[in-house]
Amino acid sequence: MIEPTRFVIFLGAALLLAIAPGPGMLYVLARTLAGGKREGVLSAAGTFTGGLVHVLAAAAGLSVVLAKSALAFETVKYAGAAYLCFLGVRMILDSRNDDNELPNVLPRRNPLWQGVTTEVLNPKTALFFLSFIPQFVNRAAGHVFFQFVLLGTISVIMNTSADLVVTMLAGPLGNRLRSSSRLRRRQRTATGLIMMGLGTYLAVGESK
């Protein structure tokens, strides 16, 4: 159903993006440092649920249009590849500004539902799934909705797994991230280059 080569590329890209400290991971880390590992795990479960909401919503909306229109499908893929490159450039530029601090959280609120709300109401998550997942969907094989859901779920699981590892290692990781501005800059630069390379590769590969 999904092309094996593209699936391997997807797994590699999803893994690299999952382990790169982004807003979701920093949120879970902040909750862990504020309320302990239990709050961290519940927060990770919340962001996992919120991520699945985005996956299902994007899959439902896109599959109706994309399954019927080859032009719409190609348009979404090229636009998505361009957006990945744009995100990469933004990350590299933002890495010069050391603003990747741990976010403020409200420990008294239910960490599970706060995690769900934080993720569901994040428009950047929706845009990311709309740009990233369609690059690996094989329209010719059919079942666009199920392909999207499968790939999206794998991506969310990888992200959550990385968040749980961070929760278990919250103490040393938190100190490292807060104290090392150089580490944060390098991480954001590396992630930006990965996204630019991925977007370029997918756009060029699709045009051949």
pLDDT (tens place) for every residue of the chain, 208 residues total: 677 888 888 898 888 888 876 767 777 877 787 778 888 899 899 999 989 988 998 888 766 666 566 676 677 677 767 877 887 787 777 766 655 555 555 445 678 888 888 787 766 677 778 778 888 888 777 787 888 899 999 999 999 999 999 888 876 666 665 556 676 677 667 767 776 776 777 667 654 4
Q: What is the CA radius of gyration of the chain?
A: 17
Residue 44 has what pLDDT? 92
The pTM score is 0.71
Residue 42 has what pLDDT? 92
Residue 151 has what pLDDT? 93
Residue 158 has what pLDDT? 94
Residue 208 has what pLDDT? 45
Q: How far apart are the first and last CA of the chain?
A: 21
Q: Within a 10 A sphere around the Cβ of 126, how many other Cβ atoms? A: 18
DSSP state at residue 61: H
**Contact between residue 50 and residue 102 where contact means Cβ atoms under 8 Å apart:** no
| Residue extents of the structural domains in the chain | 4-207
Phi, psi of 151 (to 5 degrees): -65, -40
How far is Cα 168 from Cα 177, in angstroms, rounded to an integer?
15
